[in-house]
Amino acid sequence: MFFAQHQMRRVIAPLAFATLLTLAASEARAVPMYTIRDLGTLPDKASSIATSINNQGQVVGISYNDADGEVYQSSLGPRYNLSGTGTQSFLYDNGKTTRIDPVGGPALAINDHGQVVGGPYASINNAGLYAGGPSAGVDGGSYSGLAGLYDNGVKRDISIAPYAVNDSGVVVGAVAGGPMNAELHPAMFRDGQRVDLMSATLRYPDLSKTDSPLLPNGTAIGINNKNDILAVVWSVNTPAIPGVPSTTVVFNPTTGEWKNLSKVPGYEGGQGVALNNLGQIVGTDFLYDGSTIRKLTDLIPPTSGWSGLHPKDINDSGWIVGQGTIDGKLHAFLMTPVDAQVPEPSTILVWGVLAALGVGSRRVVARKA
């Protein structure tokens, strides 16, 4: 009898252990890497969008009704199409949402000191410098002439349409370029000089299916403190390049290092919208971690109820904000990485089986002795 029981345990224990490993591996793959939180809306507003997050986890955004206008996904950076007057800006901080009135208009950017700008001002750095002007922020205007970098309200002309400024005061955006200024080019303003990045940096052979001209249009929509620049490039001119959609690139004009995200495994189209100081990029339902691209909807619980995630910003902790659909409504969301994994009940059950087998074996040995 003892021999039969002992042999059975010798068979069952490895099988249970193998089952444990299989279940654990399966559940590790299934456990979401991010949690997602609905930031709701301000009172009497139907929709909301989170437009920016700082490294303290403070989030700013906009609550609005259909008649108030909309914030939309655009290759031209964070912009607001103002068609009404009922828009309200909000600050989400430590679980509490309050209404705010940023400099310039609808909230588009917040720095690590909690300073917020909006309207025509699309970006603010940690030194308190904010950039804005034509076609940045509130839709409208041209791509040269009136934009500026502001320090305590004092404007310095920078001659590009700016979308982002880093802590060193380097501004990126767009400028009219090409033959007869008929193209839109990514541009940088640094040390008092404007640089057309399309001419200087972005005409690489593998960005399109032709050698020349390459993708002639683009705009730079983000820059981090390492001077890595996020840009979207495309072809719309005649003759257009057949079969070449817009694509997202990240590059550093100082080091010459660059990457075309359409060449990265997991890329399924879309475009980048923001990057952090770690080189992570978020775009149309995707997160790029420096080597691979994953869909945002694959990183959250499948039962969350969220769909149509459109990120707008990412901080240095990997926290992501934007807008998605929940219960049929367009709401602001906050995604945060899951720090600790809790075993699922089935895993705990198998551990219990193994523990019981171990205890049983010790009891048999004790009785035999």
Q: Give the pLDDT confidence of 321-334 residue by residue, as tens digits.
A: 999 999 999 999 99
pLDDT digits (tens, 9 = 90+) for 219-265: 899 999 999 999 988 765 444 445 556 788 898 888 878 888 888 88
State residue 137's pLDDT score.
Answer: 52
What is each CA distance from 25 to 21, 294, 338, in whole angstroms?
A: 6, 19, 17
Nearest-angstrom CA–CA distance, 149 and 133:
9
- In angstroms, what is the C-alpha Rg of the chain? 26
User: Which residue type, as a one-letter code, is found at position 142?
Assistant: S
Residues 6+ apart with CB under 8 A from 310: 73, 284, 285, 322, 323, 324
Are the CB atoms for 230 and 248 separated by under 8 Å?
yes
State residue 135's pLDDT score.
Answer: 53
Are the CB atoms for 69 and 80 separated by under 8 Å?
yes
State residue 369's pLDDT score.
Answer: 35
| Mean pLDDT split into 10-residue runs, the chain, 369 residues | 50 49 46 90 94 97 85 56 76 97 91 93 94 60 63 88 93 84 85 84 47 64 95 64 69 84 84 94 92 94 94 96 95 89 41 42 33
User: Can you name the residues that pair with 294 across neighbouring β-strands?
Assistant: 287
Residue 23 tokens, joined:
């279940």
User: Which residue type, as a one-letter code, is found at position 110?
Assistant: I
pTM score: 0.79
Q: Count the alpha carbons within 13 Å of 1 in the hemisphere toward its beta carbon.
A: 3
Beta-carbon count within 10 A of 268 CB: 10
CA dihedral sign, ordered 233, 135, 121, 157: positive
State residue 119's pLDDT score.
Answer: 83
State residue 2's pLDDT score.
Answer: 46
What is each CA distance from 249 to 218, 319, 334, in whole angstroms?
A: 10, 21, 25
